[in-house]
Amino acid sequence: MAGKKIGILALQGAFAEHEDALKRCGVDALQVKTADQIEEIDGLIIPGGESTTIGNLMCRYGLDSKIKEMEAKGMPIWGTCAGMVLLAKEIVDSEQFRLGLMSIRVKRNAFGRQVDSFEADLDVVGIGKTKGVFIRAPYVEKIWGEAKVLSEYEGKIVMVEEGKKLATAFHPELTEELGIYKYFLDKV
């Protein structure tokens, strides 16, 4: 990964924690706040937070079109929680902005409210055991096309990949585990 730089969309949400995890992986990280900064990175993480707010800010600052342009050129993208919602082509009962880059239908806040947050042990294809921290988490109701399920919790899809795109309903940045980061970095 020498010389590669991973951006974390830093408009709202848990971007600092992703930056810390990337540094623990020995990777250069950049907090991305402008469309020009997208040109400087080799991969992008869209963090958890509030998907409507992040989406509105992406549009306001022109990041939405730049992210789509770079994804079309092959840039790997990983969305966690709200980032998963923003990557989805379909969001249940919502017309909110989304990038629409993954062939998934997502249900927002599907595991309940903030007070319903929890941790769970997960089995992830290609990674093994990992801890999942779920905070007002979505889950994937449906996949199609090239999308593949990598993990489920109680029969609900909580991690998917499609080409160089990855989406998790949970927050790996809130654990000490780096397995999912390394899996994403292998796409870069």
Determine whether 173 is an active site residue: yes
Q: Convert 49-99 into a string of H (helix), E (strand) and C (coil).
A: CCHHHHHHHHHHCCHHHHHHHHHHCCCCEEEECHHHHHHEEEECCCCCCCC
Determine whether 171 is an active site residue: yes
Catalytic residue among 81, 95, 162, 176: 81
CA-to-CA distance for 138 and 48, rounded, in angstroms?
Answer: 11
CA 142 vs CA 49, 105, 148, 156: distances in Å: 22, 5, 10, 10
- In the chain, where the domains are located: 5-185
Catalytic residue among 71, 161, 162, 173: 173
Determine whether 90 is an active site residue: no
End-to-end, the C-alpha distance of the chain in Å comes to: 8
B/e letters for 130-147, b = 16+ CB within 10 Å, e = fewer, are bbbbbbbbbbbbebeeeb
Predicted TM-score (pTM) of this structure: 0.96
CA-to-CA distance for 108 and 93, rounded, in angstroms?
Answer: 9
Low-confidence ranges of the chain (pLDDT < 70): 1-2
Q: What pLDDT does residue 54 have?
A: 95
Residues forming a β-bridge with 44: 7, 77
Catalytic residue among 17, 19, 161, 171: 171
The two tokens of residue 132 are 């999942």
The two tokens of residue 57 are 């800010």
- Are 151 and 122 a contacting pair, CB within 8 Å? yes
Q: What pLDDT does residue 76 have?
A: 98
Between strands 88-91 and 28-32, the pairing is unpaired
What is the assigned CATH class of domain 5-185? alpha beta
